[in-house]
Structure 1
Amino acid sequence: MEQTPVAHVLIFPFPAQGHVNSMLKLAELLCFSGLYVTFLNTKHYHKRLLRFTDAETRFESFPKFRFQTITDGLPDDHSRSVSYIKDLITGIESVQPAFRELMISNNLNSDNWPPVTCTIIDGLIAFFMDVSKELGIPSISFRTTSACYLWSCFCYQNLTEAGEFPFADNDMDKLISCVPGMQGFLRRRDLPSFYRIKELNDPFLKLAVTQTINSTRASATILNTFEDLEGPILSEMRPHFPKIYTLGPLHAHLSSRRTNSFAPSDSSNSLWEVDRSCMTWLDSQPLKSVVYVSFGSIALMTRNEMLEFWHGLVNSGKRFLWVIRPDSVKDNDQKSQIPTELTEGTKDRGYMVGWCPQEQVLVHPAVGGFLTHSGWNSTLESIIAGLPMVCWPVMGDQQINSRFVSQVWKIGLDMKDVCDRLTVEKMVNDLMENKRDELARSMDEISQMAKKSVSEGGTSWCNLEELIEDIKSMKLQV
């Protein structure tokens, strides 16, 4: 009897911390199902993954999993910082011929591995799906952002046809009327950051819109969200997108499948060196007394913005744990003096590190609130931890995420487009005292819904089961 081909998934993320992190979690979830999984990473980011994490040893427990690498199209000495994101995009776009060669070579079929029967490609690099299509391999788009962000990108044509974009004046509080499901609360300033440009041919605007449209040509779309959180927006999207699988929050889904609990693992997918000394410091702090501050893996701030945040945190009188990446301050002069009141205030109540184990920090009993850039991974991690947020969005999807956090879900406060010490001080005090109970009630309700979604029988749990069965059936289409 002829043997049935075996399902083999190739996963390819955009080379950035948040993208690699969430797609590795998806890879591990698929490994539990017994699928063959190849994770294709760029050589530069794979070296960092091996250097700073236990990913290699962690995945050794899955005999049907392997890492593969590909160039990112940039020279070895390139910094690959967010300041050069245009280079990153241009570089990875140039890799399409190398990707095609990899897909048709025997490298992916060697060592008794079956041929690739399905690709899951980051929607930010949806142009790689053209290669899959050419080779007759079904391709699924994975979007690491929120559904509300994706929908606002998809509605670009609505905005231009209605004359709502480009903006005719500087009134950033003017309501946007032509993004279905968001009328009445979405302002200009809440649209993704690239909508603030004046030129329609801006490369970042074109990338976001084009790749969103390209994603709709996939066999299906995977989103790291859950139905109870973004159901109304998902309902708007479904007539326009291929089948949508909501599997999130992925980090909690993975914990649920691993150990039947939501406690974060000690394992990490960080591309930065983790400083765990902050956990010891947190152990010595009172219950719910610490504000955790982190602006993610790529967001940048000016030195003046850093000092305003620092003054606001110290002046609030609250304890704080602040993650400041070595490359996070754009114009930082290491020789410039830090005001004495900041160093003294931090000595008394603060702790600062270059990077930390965020999932563990958020669930630590000493942490009572999160001052965040509103990246989607951070937002979902805060929801699972049940921690209300103050949002200071910087770029991309963060602006619209923060509006939903504050106005729709009511689990945080929005501080976008403002950065002065008085506002920081007020927002921190509102988060930790004045509005604490009100925010906590909303957050507790949504946090419980999130946990239910990734528990056995929940919507995200069942959607993953359906995705796996659909991937198995895709082998028949090759």
Structure 2
Amino acid sequence: MEEKAVRRRVVLVPLPAQGHISPMMQLAKALHLKGFSITVAQIESNPLTVSDADDFPHFRFVTIPTSLPEPELKIVGLVEFLTKLNEICAVSFKECLSKLLQQQQGDDDGIPSCVIYDEYMYFSGAVSKELKIPSIVFSTTNATAFICRSAQGRNNTNEFLAPLREPGGQDKLVPGFHPLRYKDLPTSAFAPLESLMKLYANAAQKRTASAVIINTASCLESSSLSRLEQDLQAPVYPVGPLHMAASASCSLLEEDRSCIEWLNKQKPSSVIYISLGSLALMEHKDMMEMAWGLANSNQPFLWVIRPGSISGSEWAESLPEEFSRIVSERGHIVKWAPQKEVLSHSAVGCFWSHCGWNSTLESIGEGIPLICRPFSGDQKVNARYLDRIWRVGIQLEGELERGGVEKALRRLMVNEEGAAMKERALCLKEKLKASVKPGGTSHNALDELVSFIKTLQYK
């Protein structure tokens, strides 16, 4: 009788936030399609955790117990929450992983070949080492931001902090990081610099991990990828954009599909799509300037206003009556949208974004130029690259003012400058498409990653 082939099992540990879960689940799907069994280890009792595993029927989901109450994220802020998470989860993850090993000894479905963990879930690496399971770090941002965080974590008391506190220092270029200025470095809107540097010191290092996976492509960051591999002295696998290589739907917020019906009625490349992601916050005065800039641009717009994202407002009830009339004439507002579908729609001509890495990849992956308004972390790195390196975005800096908003939108949507940006964005789109096809750099990197994982052994 022919022996049944044993699938190697990979355990993935995502950070429980939308921008991290999406690429981790896309990576999981890509590895499953390559023949691996998948176990996803989730944090218990967190409102951001994937709740519906039905979309991934072939995956196994296990829970990492935690004593953190649900409101903890809002109370202490994101950076302190991540620090606490790493302090308390090691013991429960060890128990969870030990049970998995016991259950699957001799199982046809395979014991874990390795643990792949989000860089901010670094407790997973320590536990994997203790249980003698190989581990791999997964970065959901790009290589440039990874290098920045690593450098900041190593030098948290000197050159990266001092200029941020000097008059005019924020506008100076960072030596060795062209074209980034000190204010473009990945600092957080959620925590003091010192707390963030401590988190980076723990997160942006491979420790005993065997390799690093990054959701990026060589055509976007070849020099940064080479530098990162040299710094880490370990294999680096740029397998992105993962949403193009292995699409996996895992939105943690309910999507309003009425926006697709509305887009169907608009002219090609005429709509400004606005979405500031799942965590960014906005002051009421900025929202008002943004609203009037949109109104004065005379362009149709689709605006995602996430509940609770505007200071002092539950949703969009604070918009003036006159603007509400303009919305009814040429705009559409929703609480959340199916973003990849929106960006691929022929009516969309521009994306006003917070420049999270997923949104950045999704936009240039559809050839859509951007209005860049970063909020926190790596978004500032991404915005600078979109503006100065890839030249497919316009960065809005300083105080938002309706005249400046209108001018930027017209530059991109009406003027020749915008047409040139669109051409460059379409060129990047073709390069990204080629990278994930057979023979492309990202496709090859995924195959190399698969071969590498197959060499790893539980000891």
Common fold by TM > 0.5: yes
Aligned equivalents of 2:280, 2:427: Cα separation in 1: 30
- What residue in structure 1 maps to residue 167 of structure 2? 170
CA contact (8 A) 1:275 1:357 kept: yes
- What residue in structure 2 maps to residue 70 of structure 1? 64
Aligned length: 452
- What residue in structure 2 maps to residue 289 of structure 1? 270
Match of 1:272, SS state, is coil
CA contact (8 A) 2:63 2:96 kept: no
- What residue in structure 1 maps to residue 40 of structure 2? 39
Confirm whether residue 88 of structure 1 aligns to residue 84 of structure 2: no
Call closer, same or farther: CA 1:161–1:40 in 2, change over 3 Å.
closer
Tell me the CA shift for residue 424 of structure 1. Answer: 1.3
Identical pairs, percent: 35
Confirm whether residue 235 of structure 1 aligns to residue 231 of structure 2: no
CA contact (8 A) 2:187 2:377 kept: yes
- What residue in structure 1 maps to residue 199 of structure 2? 207
2:142 to 119, 135, 146: 146
Amino acid at match of 1:310: A
Call closer, same or farther: CA 1:341–1:4 in 2, change over 3 Å.
closer
- What residue in structure 2 maps to residue 358 of structure 1? 339
Tell me the CA shift for residue 196 of structure 1. Answer: 11
- What residue in structure 2 maps to residue 379 of structure 1? 360
CA contact (8 A) 1:392 1:417 kept: no
Tell me the CA shift for residue 341 of structure 1. Answer: 2.3
CA contact (8 A) 2:173 2:182 kept: yes
1:190 to 184, 191, 216: 184
Q: What RMSD over aligned residues (CA atoms) do the two structures have, in Å?
A: 2.7
Which runs of structure 2 are paired with 1:344-423 in the superposition (5 Å)?
344-423=325-404
Confirm whether residue 454 of structure 1 aligns to residue 433 of structure 2: no
2:322 to 341, 357, 367: 341
Tell me the CA shift for residue 396 of structure 1. Answer: 0.8
Amino acid at match of 1:131: V
Amino acid at match of 2:43: T
Tell me the CA shift for residue 80 of structure 1. Answer: 3.9
Amino acid at match of 2:78: I
Call closer, same or farther: CA 1:89–1:177 in 2, change over 3 Å.
closer
- What residue in structure 2 maps to residue 263 of structure 1? none
Deviates more, 1:461-470 or 1:89-98: 89-98
CA contact (8 A) 1:81 1:298 kept: no
Tell me the CA shift for residue 41 of structure 1. Answer: 1.6
Deviates more, 1:17-26 or 1:203-212: 203-212
Aligned equivalents of 1:335, 1:42: Cα separation in 2: 32
Tell me the CA shift for residue 106 of structure 1. Answer: 4.6
Tell me the CA shift for residue 162 of structure 1. Answer: 6.8
TM-score (structure 2 length as normaliser): 0.91
Aligned equivalents of 2:316, 2:332: Cα separation in 1: 21
Mind listing any 5+ residue stretches in structure 2 that lack a counterpart? none
Mind listing any 5+ residue stretches in structure 1 that lack a counterpart? 256-266
CA contact (8 A) 2:77 2:191 kept: no
Call closer, same or farther: CA 1:438–1:336 in 2, change over 3 Å.
closer
Which runs of structure 2 are paired with 1:269-348 in the superposition (5 Å)?
269-332=250-313, 337-348=318-329
CA contact (8 A) 1:48 1:272 kept: no
Aligned equivalents of 1:335, 1:343: Cα separation in 2: 10
- What residue in structure 1 maps to residue 114 of structure 2? 118
Tell me the CA shift for residue 254 of structure 1. Answer: 1.1
Aligned equivalents of 2:334, 2:100: Cα separation in 1: 45
Match of 2:171, SS state, is coil
- What residue in structure 1 maps to residue 14 of structure 2? 13
